[in-house]
C-alpha cells in the first residue's frame, strides 16, 4: 500500500501521530482530540488549494500541519466558545459522506436542525 493510501485509511487521532512517527502527550490528545482533528482538517483542506505536485510533498504538508496544530494546543491554545458553538451549528460529514466535510444530503429536518438524509434511519424497536 502506498504511503498516501495508508494515510487516507487512518481514522484515530493517535494513528496520525504514529504514522508520522511523532511524539505526543497521550493525555493532551485524549482531552483535545476533537479540536486537534478539527484544526488539522482545516489545514489539510488547504493542501488541495496549493496543488502539491507529489504525494511526498503532500504528506510533508500534512505532517507540518499536524505538528503545528498539536504544538498550538500543547502551548495552551484553547478554542473560543464561538469556535466550539460554531462547530455544533454547522452540519458535519456523515458516515455516508465521510470523505467530505460538506455533506451534499444535509437538509433541515425540524426548526433549524439539520441532518444528513442519506443516512439510514436507526430504530431501537
Q: Are residues 28 and 69 in the same domain?
A: yes
Contact (Cβ atoms closer than 8 angstroms) between residue 2 and residue 55: yes
Q: Are residues 58 and 68 in the same domain?
A: yes
Query: Which of 37, 35, 60 is closest to 47 using CA atoms?
Result: 60
Q: Are residues 37 and 57 in the same domain?
A: yes
pLDDT band at 75 (very low <50, low <70, confident <90, very high): confident
Domain total in the chain: 2
Q: Are residues 68 and 23 in the same domain?
A: yes
Q: Where are the alpha helices (DSSP H) in the chain?
A: 3-8, 13-19, 26-50, 55-74, 81-89
Instruction: Give this prediction's pTM.
Output: 0.62
Spell out the residues 6+ positions from residue 48 whose beta carbon is closer than 8 angstroms to its own: none
pLDDT at 66 over 50: yes
Q: Are residues 84 and 95 in the same domain?
A: no
pLDDT at 111 over 70: no
Q: Are residues 13 and 44 in the same domain?
A: yes
Q: Are residues 63 and 43 in the same domain?
A: yes
Query: Which SS3 state, helix, strand or coil, does residue 98 take?
Result: coil
Long-range contacts of 25-28 (CB under 8 A, 24+ apart): 25/74, 28/70, 28/73, 28/74
Q: Are residues 60 and 45 in the same domain?
A: yes
Q: Are residues 82 and 113 in the same domain?
A: no
pLDDT band at 64 (very low <50, low <70, confident <90, very high): very high
Mean pLDDT of 65-72: 91
The residue to which cell 500543547 is assigned: 74
Mean pLDDT of 35-61: 86
Q: Are residues 75 and 28 in the same domain?
A: yes
What is the model's pLDDT at position 79?
A: 56
Ramachandran area for residue 76 (φ above 0: left; ψ -120 to 50: alpha; else beta): left
Average pLDDT, the chain: 74
Q: Are residues 100 and 84 in the same domain?
A: no
Q: Are residues 86 and 96 in the same domain?
A: no
pLDDT at 5 over 90: yes
Give the residue numbers spanning the domain of 120. Answer: 91-125
Contact (Cβ atoms closer than 8 angstroms) between residue 118 and residue 96: yes
Residues 86-103: tens digit of each pLDDT = 544 554 444 444 444 455
Amino acid at each position: 500500500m502506498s504511503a498516501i493510501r495508508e494515510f487516507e485509511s487512518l481514522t484515530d487521532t493517535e494513528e496520525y501521530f504514529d504514522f508520522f512517527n511523532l511524539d505526543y502527550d497521550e493525555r493532551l490528545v485524549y482531552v483535545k482530540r476533537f479540536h486537534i482533528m478539527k484544526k488539522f482538517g482545516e489545514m489539510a483542506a488547504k493542501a488541495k488549494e496549493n496543488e502539491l505536485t507529489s504525494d511526498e510533498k503532500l504528506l510533508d504538508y500534512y505532517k507540518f500541519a499536524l505538528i503545528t496544530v498539536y504544538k498550538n494546543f500543547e502551548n495552551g491554545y484553547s478554542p473560543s466558545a464561538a469556535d466550539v458553538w460554531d462547530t455544533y451549528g454547522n452540519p458535519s460529514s456523515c458516515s455516508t459522506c465521510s470523505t467530505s466535510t460538506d455533506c451534499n444530503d444535509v437538509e433541515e429536518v425540524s426548526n433549524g436542525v439539520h441532518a444528513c438524509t442519506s443516512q439510514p434511519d436507526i430504530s431501537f424497536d
